Structures are given as C-alpha cells and as structure tokens.
Amino acid sequence: MKAKLTERYVANLRAAEKAYEARDTELNGFLVRVQPTGRKTFYVDYRLPGEGRTRYRIDTYGKITATAARSVATRRLADVAHGTNIQAAKKQARKDRDKARLSTLKGFLDARYGPWVKAERKTGESTLKRLESNFGHLLGRPLTDINLWVVEKWRAEQRKAGKQPSTINRDVGALKTVLSKAVEWEVLGSNPLRQLKPVRTDSNGPVRYLSKEEEGRLREALDSREQRLRADRKRGNQWRGERGYPLYADLQDLHFADYLKPMVLLSLNMGLRRGELFDLTWKDVNFGGSTVTVQGATSKTAKTRHVPLNDEALEVLKKWHKQSEGEDYVFPGKHGGRMDNVRKSWASVLERAKIVDFRWHDMRHHFASCLVMAGVDLNTVRELLGHGDITMTLRYAHLAPEHKAEAVRKLADRR
C-alpha cells in the first residue's frame, strides 16, 4: 500500500486481521505499520552499501504526529545518505544513556543492584539500608570515584567515632560487593576496592553469654512480666465488663500471657537466629521426632538444618501450640503476618533483670557457650548453629580449655 502519509490519511487507517504497512509515495523509506490491535508505528526503512535492509523505529502514532514523524524520517534518511547506520547509532546512544544513568552509585543501586539484591538475597532490603546509611555521601558520585583513599578515610573516621571493627568490615564488604557486581555486569572496568584488606579483629575476643545468676534473673523477670500482664488483663476486663464492653481473652487459663517468654526460652535452648525464629512455622515443628526444621529459604546460610528439641524446648512448643490460634507462623505478628521485632518488650525484661550489654543475638552465643562448656565438640556445635564452616564456631573454643590442656599432656606422654 502506497500513499502520501498525511495526518488525515494515517488517522483513517483501520486495523485489519493481519498487520500491514503503508509507504509514503514522496519520501522513499518512510512508512507506517498498522497492527491488528490498531497501533500504528512509524519507521524508516533503509539499506547501506554492502549490508541488508534495516529498520529504524521512530515512534507510535498518538505519541507523535504524522507530520513530525515525516520530519524525523527526513533527517534520518539524510544521515543514511551520508553513510550513517542510524539504527546502530540509536542503540549506541541508548547504551551511552544507560551508562550515564548507571555511572553514579545511586544510579547503579536504583537501576541494577537494588532490584537484584532484593530478589536474590533475603537480607536485600537491610543491605540497601546499610549502604545508604553508611555511604550516603557517595551516592551522587561516579562509581569510578570510589577508590581506596575514599574508603580508607571513611574507615578511619568510623573507627575514631567508636564503631566496632567487625561492623566496619561488614559495611565495607557490602560496598565491595556492589562494585564487584558492577564489574561483573560490565558497568565498571575493575573493582577499585579489590585490594582493600579488612580491619583486623580479635576473633578470639570475649563471647557474651549469661552467667547462672543472670539466667536466673532473666527467667524471674519473664515470670514477673507474665504476672503483670495477667493482672493488667484482669483489671482491664473488669473495667470493660462494668461498662458493657466485650471482654478480651482471659489470660489466667493460658500457660503463656504472650509471645515473649516462649520465644526467649526457645532461643536459649535452640540457638536460633532471631530471623529464623520469626520465620518458624508450625509445619517446621516435628513433635513426634522432637525436632525443628530451619528451612534453607529462611536461613542465613541458605541451608536447611534440623535442630533437636530438649525437654524444656519441646514442652514450651507444646504448650504454646495448644493456646495458639494460627496454623502458619509459630509466633505471628499483627494480623497473622510475620513478626518483625520484639525490641520494646525485650529491653523491658533485660532492664528488670538488671542484665546489661546483652543483645537478643547473644542468646545464640549463650546456647553455643553452654554446649561447649558441657563438653560438646565444636563440629556438633557448628551443625546445631548452622555455621557454614568451623571458623565461626572456633570463637567458642576457649570455653573448653581442658581440650587444649589434654593436647599438651599428650606431648608428655610421648617422652
């Protein structure tokens, strides 16, 4: 079909069962393609010496008028007459725009790394927050400007401010991973931080765990909290009953007043990471086999492991299951969804127990420390904790000094 592609002519073109084209009678190579959906797209059809025919897409009708499309086609055909491959030039211009957009740290995070890390890593959101929080001053800078000096200077400032070396290493590690991906995806020629060594840390430093006295005070504080919750609920229901309001569930007949005590007791007896505890579902609990399965999809190491339940942990889960209404999460948050934090209630219990410098994660250290001090070998502790290798578990080795003493005694036995 050939005709002069005027505004009126293009507007009157109707969709057919199959796609068809209308070529301009005055400007050779200028055409419009009509799809069965009714969409009309303007193209320039051209051929360079020694090459096959190529099409350059101008735009769709509605976004551009036929008159404007003709003007674009005229300019592009003039470029072709001078030997320019306009389609190749268009692709290169798009690459240049993408490269410019990805050149800054923020651009690369927004367009490439951010979507990837959120889809591929369970900790994707927290990783992005870590990067933005620590390296906000670098977001607007080109990736090529992030060099050893810039990061060394930042590390020195952080150490002077009192940040722990291990935390600094994690922060810088997150940035190095971003730059490594930029190299892998051909956005950056090389990783400027590839030779940066981590800040030295004391891997044999003290491990925070509870003394017998502290554990006793923690359990007492949990019991005291349970009593207060029950008393508050009783007074609250009395007040509501006097005014004819619906009553809340009576806590007197329940073994646990709420989630905190069973969560703490399980953490002390199982050594689960906080996120693993939040992700735990009733399907993961095997009452008959006295085990809990930590699914690889929710584990930090992405590997499934099976943790046996001791008597206390099994009893806690049985009693909590009996009073739980949901069938999904063991410890559901609001509206049955995943719980995301227990900071306020946990801090209150620690304060009442007069326990300082003790985080939720330290209950995991407490679990491991108690096992080692009870004579459990480090490899078994590694398996129970879900460590990828023995290196992380070795931090507890000093809690079993008798093993080193026995090794030294063996020298004497050889004499």
Q: CATH number, domain at 76?
A: 3.30.160.390
Q: What is the pLDDT of residue 402?
A: 59
Q: Is residue 192 part of a domain?
A: no
Asked if residue 379 and residue 256 are part of one domain, the reply reads: yes
On the question of pLDDT at 16 being above 90, the answer is yes
Asked if residue 225 and residue 156 are part of one domain, the reply reads: no
Distances (CA, A) of 121 to 127, 277, 397: 9, 18, 31
User: 294-314, pLDDT tens digit by residue?
Assistant: 988 777 777 899 999 999 999
Asked if residue 361 and residue 227 are part of one domain, the reply reads: yes
Asked if residue 398 and residue 267 are part of one domain, the reply reads: yes
Q: Is residue 158 part of a domain?
A: yes
Q: Which two tokens stand for residue 283?
A: 């399907």
Asked if residue 294 and residue 166 are part of one domain, the reply reads: no
Q: What is the pLDDT of residue 203?
A: 58
Of the pLDDT bands very low, low, confident and very high (cuts 50, 70, 90), residue 324 is confident
Can you give the three-state secondary structure of 161-226, one letter per residue? Answer: CCCCHHHHHHHHHHHHHHHHHHHHCCCCCCCCCCCCCCCCCCCCCCCCCCCHHHHHHHHHHHHHHH
- Can you tell me the distance from the alpha carbon of 362 to that of 386, in angstroms, rounded to the nearest whole number? 15
Asked if residue 168 and residue 297 are part of one domain, the reply reads: no
* 135, 141, 144, 146: CA torsion to nearest 10: -30
Q: What is the pLDDT of residue 51?
A: 79
Asked if residue 296 and residue 165 are part of one domain, the reply reads: no
Asked if residue 71 and residue 54 are part of one domain, the reply reads: yes
Asked if residue 74 and residue 161 are part of one domain, the reply reads: no
Q: Is residue 348 part of a domain?
A: yes
One-letter amino acid for residue 50 of the chain? G
Last residue of a domain, one of 184, 200, 226: 184
Name the domain count of the chain.
3
| CATH number for the domain that contains residue 308 | 1.10.443.10
Q: What is the pLDDT of residue 18?
A: 94
Distances (CA, A) of 311 to 128, 275, 316, 330, 374: 41, 23, 9, 18, 17
> Residue 25 sits in which domain range?
2-99
Q: Is residue 295 part of a domain?
A: yes
Asked if residue 123 and residue 54 are part of one domain, the reply reads: no
On the question of pLDDT at 412 being above 60, the answer is no
Residue that is written with structure tokens 């008393």 in the block: 231
Of the pLDDT bands very low, low, confident and very high (cuts 50, 70, 90), residue 267 is very high
Q: What number of other Cβ atoms are within 10 A of residue 331's Cβ?
A: 21
On the question of pLDDT at 344 being above 90, the answer is yes
As a whole number of Å, the end-to-end CA separation of the chain is 104
What percent of the chain is modeled with pLDDT above 70? 93
On the question of pLDDT at 400 being above 80, the answer is no
Q: What is the pLDDT of residue 53?
A: 85
Asked if residue 374 and residue 267 are part of one domain, the reply reads: yes
Cβ atoms of 44 and 77 within 8 Å: the answer is yes
User: 346-391, pLDDT tens digit by residue?
Assistant: 999 999 999 999 999 999 999 999 998 888 888 998 899 988 888 7
User: 172-229, pLDDT tens digit by residue?
Assistant: 999 999 999 999 998 888 999 988 888 887 655 678 899 999 999 999 999 999 999 9
Q: Is residue 412 part of a domain?
A: no
Q: What is the pLDDT of residue 36?
A: 94
Please give the average per-residue pLDDT across 57-67, as a whole number.
93
Q: Is residue 205 part of a domain?
A: no
- If phi > 0 it is left, if psi is from -120 to 50 it is alpha, else beta; for residue 354 that is left
400 versus 86: the higher-pLDDT residue is 86
Residues 6+ apart with CB under 8 A from 182: 102, 108, 112, 113, 143, 188, 191
- Can you tell me the distance from the alpha carbon of 265 to that of 277, in angstroms, rounded to the nearest whole number? 12
User: 127-172, pLDDT tens digit by residue?
Assistant: 999 999 999 999 988 888 899 999 999 999 999 999 988 899 999 9
